[in-house]
Structure 1
C-alpha cells in the first residue's frame, strides 16, 4: 500500500472511531494520535536499519509535540487508533496487531530489567481503555478489552474483558459473566470484594451487640 493510501486509511479509522471528527483537514492537522503514529512509522523505518539515534530522536520529538511516547522498536499493525492520547507509552518490544484502539494514559510497559521480549503483545481488534497498565511479556487476545484503570499482569484470552487491580476476567469467549457490561459501566471486582467484607463486618458488629446485651441482662438478673 502506498504512503498516501495508508495515510488516508489512518484518517478513515479516526472517522470510524471518533464521532467528534468532522473533516479530513481537521483530522490531518489536529489529531495528535494520528501524528504520533505517522512519526512512529518513520522512526521504525530507521530503527529497522539500525540507525538507532535517528530513530530515537524522531520518537522523542514526536513525544514532545504529541504527549505520546512510542519506542521506535515497537511493531504496530494497520488501522491503529489512539484516542485522546496524552500519556500513552508503548515499549520497545510491543507487538500491536490490526484494528487496535488505545485510549488516554495507557501504558504498554515492562516489569523490570529483563532482556528480550519484555513488553505486551496486543492482538487484532483489541481495545485498551483509559489509564490501563498492561505490563510484561503477556498477550491481550483477539477482540479483547481492558477496562479503564486496570493493571494487567497475565495473559488475557481471545474475546475477553478484564478489569480491576490486578486485572480480573469478567467476560470470556463472548459470554458475559456480569450482565449489563458497557464500556462506561465496567464491573469492579475490588469494590465488590470490599462491599462483601463490609457486610461481614456489619454482621459481626450485630453479633457482638447481641452478646453484650445478653451479658448485661445476665448481670442484672444477679
Structure 2
C-alpha cells in the first residue's frame, strides 16, 4: 500500500523541518510538536489509500488528521518532496491541488477551487514556491517555480516564475531572481498599492507646481 522508499521520505521530511524552521531544536521536538509534519505523514497514508480506491478509509484518515492538527488536506491532493507547512492552523488543500518539491506554506493558507465540476479546479504550485500566512490561492491556476505569494494575498490568476504577488486581488510585482534558500523576509515584500499611491502623490505634486507657475505668469 505504501510506496517504495516511504521510510526514507519520512527521514527527509524531518530534515526539511530543520532546514525551513529556525525554531526547530531537536528531533524529539520535531516529532512531537510539529502539526504540519503530522498532517503530511497522515496525508502520505491517506493518499496511498485514495490511490487504491479506498475512498472512505482515505477520507477517514484525512478527517482524523484535520481533527488532530487543524490542517485539512484532501487525500486526492498530490504533494511533492520536502514540503513543509509552518505552524499549520487553518491550512486547507483541495482535492485536485498539485504541489511540487521544496514548497513552503504558512498558517491559514487556502488552496481552493472555483467550480463544482468534477475536473481540475484547484491550484498547481510548482517547485520552490512560498505562500505567506493567510494567503488564498483559488482555481486551476499555476503558480510558477520560485514564485512567492505575500501574506494575506488573494490570487486568482497564473503567477509567472520567480515573481512575487501581493495584495487583494494579487498583483505581480517585478520578477526577482530564484531564491536559493527559504526567504523569511516577508516584511520586505514590495507593495504595489503603496507604489501606485506614491505615483499619484507625485503626479499631484507636479500638477500643483504647474498650476502655481501658471498663476504667477498671469500676475
- Check whether TM > 0.5: yes
Instruction: After TM superposition, give the deviation of residue 7 of structure 1 in Å.
Output: 1.0
* Alignment partner, residue 118 of structure 2: 115
TM-score normalised by L of structure 1: 0.83
TM-score normalised by L of structure 2: 0.84
Q: Deviations over 1:33-67 (max 9, x none)?
A: 00000000100011111111111111011001100
* Alignment partner, residue 54 of structure 2: 51
- Write out aligned runs for 1:72-221 (5 A): 72-172=75-175, 174=177, 182-194=185-197
Q: Deviations over 1:79-132 (max 9, x none)?
A: 000001100000000000011100010000012323300000000111111111
In 2: Cα distance, 1:6 partner to 1:182 partner? 29
Q: Deviations over 1:121-151 (max 9, x none)?
A: 0001111111111100000111111111111
The total of aligned residue pairs comes to: 204
Instruction: After TM superposition, give the deviation of residue 19 of structure 1 in Å.
Output: 0.9
SS in 2 for 1:171: coil
Two-structure CA RMSD over aligned residues (Å):
2.4
Report the structure number with the largest CA radius of gyration. 1
In 1: Cα distance, 2:62 partner to 2:205 partner? 54
1:23 pairs with one of 2, 21, 26: 26
In 2: Cα distance, 1:106 partner to 1:140 partner? 14
Q: Deviations over 1:150-200 (max 9, x none)?
A: 11111111111111111111132539xxxxx94222222234445666777
Unpaired stretches in structure 2, ≥5 consecutive residues:
179-183, 213-219
CA contact (8 A) 1:165 1:190 kept: no
SS in 1 for 2:127: coil
Unpaired stretches in structure 1, ≥5 consecutive residues:
176-180, 211-222
CA contact (8 A) 2:101 2:127 kept: yes
* Alignment partner, residue 219 of structure 1: none
In 2: Cα distance, 1:113 partner to 1:195 partner? 41
After superposing on structure 2, the runs of 4+ consecutive aligned residues of structure 1 that deviate more than 4 Å are 194-204
